[in-house]
Amino acid sequence: MPTTHASIVAVADTTETDEWRRNLFNILEELDDQWDEQSKLEDEQWEPFHQEITACTDIRAFYYNDDDEDKKHILHDMCFLGAPTDLIQDVIERDIDGLKFADGRGRLALHRACFALKSPYKDCNIDVLLEAYSAAASAVNLDGDTPVRVYLEFAEQPNIEIVRSLLNEYPQATVARAVSVSSSVDGSSGSNDDTNRASTDLLQCVIDRWCHLASMQDADNENYRREKLFLEVLRSRLYLEEEDTEDDQDEEK
């Protein structure tokens, strides 16, 4: 049976999409290697990626779906590498659904931005992601971590305003048990295995961060004092709310 013109076009489109996908993710892998060598990325190093993604006309190339374990969206790698914010915005404008796409470990792009390598764009990228899709603040990865917990644990110099923004979008992160990525993104209910982190986990994360700041003994630094005070207040709040929760449970018994 002869091949129809439509099927030929479909095959051609798929081949071209696969080529774009390979090019985009290969460039991101090269950028990752460059960061390992330099511990930073300059704006001009992102230019090949900028050119390739501008030329790409099929947003299906933004998704890497070869298997469930390694699936991801280009925003995952871009956010982790601390891409310039204008590049992040360009991708969001072209494919906002990428913000709702969980990778093989249940992480949204916001999780990756909160875990990002050292970059001058890190905090700006988090703001942009939150503005575009605020529900991501309540998403929980397969380890049970919300974005704010990831940020508090891994940020070298946490920005108080970023923590506030994340908690403003999901204040229950301080007290509520984690909800699954599926329930926070598409409204379905998660299993008990998905809800495996309680507020005590976030509390411990805050305590660790606060102790780290206290050990620095840099009392003359205004940013240090503000961060220490904020985390101490948040720690106290978590302690009180955790005690209230335990009291409620005792009363129910």
- Tens of pLDDT, residue by residue over 129-143, are 999 999 999 999 998
49, 28 in Cβ contact below 8 A? Answer: yes
Distance, CA of 212 to CA of 80 (rounded, Å) = 23
In single-letter form, the type of residue at position 182 comes to S
The residue with tokens 């060598």 is 37
Distance, CA of 129 to CA of 147 (rounded, Å) = 11
242, 203 in Cβ contact below 8 A? Answer: yes
Residue 243 CB contacts under 8 Å (≥ 6 apart), including other chains: none
168, 115 in Cβ contact below 8 A? Answer: no
What does pTM read for this prediction? Answer: 0.72
- Angle, helices 47-55 vs 5-38, to 10°: value is 170
b/e code 55-79 from CB counts within 10 Å (16+ = b) = ebeebebbbbeeeeeebbbbbbbbb
Distance, CA of 139 to CA of 56 (rounded, Å) = 29
pLDDT value at 216 more than 80: no
Percent of residues, the chain, with pLDDT higher than 90: 43
Structure tokens at 236: 């106290």
Confidence at 10, pLDDT banded by 50, 70, 90: very low
Q: For the chain, state the CA radius of gyration.
A: 21
Distance, CA of 198 to CA of 196 (rounded, Å) = 7
Phi and psi at residue 63, to the nearest 5°: -110, 135
SS3 115: coil
Structure tokens at 43: 């704006």
Give Cα 116 to chain centroid, integer Å.
Answer: 8
Percent of residues, the chain, with pLDDT higher than 70: 62
pLDDT, tens digit, 9 for 90 and up, residues 23-82: 999 999 999 999 988 888 999 999 999 999 999 999 999 999 766 778 999 999 999 999
pLDDT, tens digit, 9 for 90 and up, residues 180-193: 333 333 444 344 34
Residues forming beta bridges with residue 72, ordered by sequence position: 64
